[in-house]
Amino acid sequence: MQTQAGVEPDRIDLGDDQAAARWAEKLDATVDQLREAVQAVGDKAADVEMHLKGARSTTNSDRVKELGG
């Protein structure tokens, strides 16, 4: 896989609007959510993904309530 010089494929570059938009789409988030996540955990894609998933995850008790239990 070839990448642009100086660009790391596992890092999120918020200075590049097109790259930020691609990452947001890939991670099923808005660019604002992406910016917040990068500010919270840094620009490493795996860390950002885990942060975003954690922010949207539900607890077991939440799921029980959803199912009417």
Helices (H), 8-59: 17-26, 31-41, 45-56
* Residue-wise pLDDT tens digits, 4-46: 555 667 999 999 999 999 999 999 999 999 999 999 999 999 9
Q: What DSSP letter does each residue of 18-32 carry, written as one string?
A: HHHHHHHHHTT--HH
Instruction: Specify the pTM.
Output: 0.68
What local confidence, expressed as pLDDT, does residue 31 receive? 96
